[in-house]
Structure 1
Amino acid sequence: MTESMDQTAAANQSQCDELAAAVLAYCETNRFKIAAAESLTGGLLADAFVRVPGASKVFLGSAVTYDIRAKASILGVDAELLRSEGAVHPEVARQMAAGTARLYRQQGDGDCVIGLSTTGVAGPGPDGNKPAGLAYVGCSLPEGFGGVRSRRTEAFELRLQGDRESVRRGVVHCILQKLRELSADSQE
Structure 2
Amino acid sequence: MGETEFPAAAASQSHCDELAAAVLRYCDNNHFKIAAAESLTGGLLADAFVRIPGASKVFLGSAVTYDIRAKAKILGVDRDLLNREGAVHPEVARQMASGTARLYQQDEDGDCVVGLSTTGVAGPGPDGDKPAGLAYIGCSLPSGFGDVQSRRTVAFELRLNGGREAVRHGVVQCILEKLSVLSALSQE
The TM-score range, normalised by the shorter chain, is over 0.9
Once residues 8 and 103 of structure 1 are traced to their aligned partners in structure 2, the CA distance between those partners, rounded to angstroms, is 35
Q: Please name the residue that 2:173 is paired with.
A: 173
2:22 maps to 1:16: no
Q: Please name the residue that 2:95 is paired with.
A: 95
What stretches of structure 2 of length at least 5 have no aligned partner? 1-6
> How many angstroms does 1:16 deviate by?
0.2
What stretches of structure 1 of length at least 5 have no aligned partner? 1-6
Q: Please name the residue that 2:30 is paired with.
A: 30
> 1:21-55 deviations in whole A, cap 9, x for unaligned?
00000000000000000000000000000000000
Q: Which consecutive aligned stretches of 4+ in structure 1 deviate over 6 angstroms post-superposition?
A: none
Aligned residues: 182
Q: Please name the residue that 2:3 is paired with.
A: none
Q: TM-score, normalised by structure 1?
A: 0.96
Once residues 67 and 136 of structure 1 are traced to their aligned partners in structure 2, the CA distance between those partners, rounded to angstroms, is 16
Once residues 172 and 17 of structure 1 are traced to their aligned partners in structure 2, the CA distance between those partners, rounded to angstroms, is 11
> 1:99-145 deviations in whole A, cap 9, x for unaligned?
00000001110000000000000000000000000000000000000
Once residues 8 and 81 of structure 1 are traced to their aligned partners in structure 2, the CA distance between those partners, rounded to angstroms, is 37
Q: Please name the residue that 2:183 is paired with.
A: 183
Q: TM-score, normalised by structure 2?
A: 0.96
Percent sequence identity over aligned pairs: 81
Q: Please name the residue that 1:134 is paired with.
A: 134
Structure with bigger RCO (C-alpha 8 Å, 6+ apart): 2
Once residues 35 and 91 of structure 1 are traced to their aligned partners in structure 2, the CA distance between those partners, rounded to angstroms, is 18
CA RMSD of aligned residues (A): 0.7
More helix by share: 1
Once residues 28 and 61 of structure 2 are traced to their aligned partners in structure 1, the CA distance between those partners, rounded to angstroms, is 15
> How many angstroms does 1:8 deviate by?
2.1
